[in-house]
Structure 1
């Protein structure tokens, strides 16, 4: 059967100044009976926490690390937030005779207070973790100042939490603002599209109304123009009817053989200067309107000619007559016989050559002039 005796260990010196307490020569294996005996003898006893060599070494190692950081890397450590170092307690390992870290000079003050009163049976250590922190030289002036790094760590953690919470809230607010802005932009776009559609509908309605009004105005203007034209035509017809009652065609039966300004070599001027009414010789000729006989006699190529002068100065010439029944200075009325058709002068057959001259002496178209007086050819 293997022995349960632990191997001997070298003396432990925490700071290199001498050997520590030696390990016990005999082993102690507590049993359920021995523990009950202890409890019965004194009731609840103060049991010193058993610390393992690993735990004490870890604590001393942590203190050494703190010293190294304070001596060589203080500037770097001060730039960073304090860090808590947690080491597990191993109460189930045998005590190697090392001193408690709280009893070490200059070390116990850096460690939190522990409850050395524990229940021996069925109770766990209320402080399962040993926390070691570091501080700068200036911060170790007082116990409160030495405890500040832990508070700084807690405060830093709180500040980090608050910063994270603020950042989350800020992101949420930004997302909500973006969503609100998107909703607002969509609403504005919809309102603009609706307004544009309404404006387009109004413009179409206005354009349609304007087109209808324009068409109506055009129709009214056309109807008015037609009515005016009709009225003017009626007035003109009435006027011409009145004129026709006071004007007469120069002869009752005829056929037009030559028109005004018709060209030809038979005329000395190269064109015809009057209107020819072909009729048998001796056909009676009538005065077209009441007038005064300005002249009546022979006129060369015109043969026998009668000139009637109207009240407005217009002259009507009757040429190539075979006979005349009026004389110069005589007044005649409309439709009165003044002579007869003949073939005297420069002619090729019997006909009436009729010319009309204005008061200024210019020749005009006899057919147009007769129509202006309400006569039909």
Structure 2
């Protein structure tokens, strides 16, 4: 059975002068395996308790020095035992007297430990507004801010997408409206042009209708050289059967009214003669022409040129001999007939 021998005392960490007086100036002492022997028995157990308390105090000091982050790391690892001489351990302050350290001692209550553990390690990064809302965890506050920023960025992206869609829709609507306007303008131009053409055709038709219903003098640049019924030996019947319009050769001969050419050719003493039949059966004879511009069966309108003044047949000079015959073949006075149609002769 091993005897419980007293443990050798460790050398004093203070210097001693020649008179044996200790110099209390602190000198670092590094215990080694050679300088400290292992101690057995009850005395060793008592020493270990004191050293455990001392090591705890030093560990707490280190933890307090590194801050809240280091505290969390140190709490996750097992404590490291540090052996110190009794002369040093006796001079260290009581660990419980250190602010914020007593809760870490084994003799403290569980309630105090829970209070310290539940307190946030640090409040750095927490804004005043977040603190007013009761936020005490910096990590949760940072996470909340990150989520809020992400939501704001997503909301901004959604707003930009909606704005782009609205812009595209507005541009498409504007393009469609412009296209519709162009089509409408083209249709309006086409309708206007069609209306103008229709009005032009209508005006021409009205003009032709009016012209067809009107009457015209048979020639121009003329004078009356012989009248109807005038007596004389130069006419085989003893009197003049028509109305003579003396005019230069080549003067246009015109249709007095719309009708159909019944005949056109040379006719003895009448020379070149054109017979124009009107709708009511009345015949108009154009005699002594130098040339004819129409043929039998051709339809003509009022004022249309049908020949030229000449001196063909039995004549004494260039003139147009005009005769009017009713539907039954009776010859009547051309002067009275033309004047009855509103013409001035």
TM-score range, shorter chain: 0.3 to 0.5
TM-score, L = length of structure 2:
0.40
TM-score, L = length of structure 1:
0.38
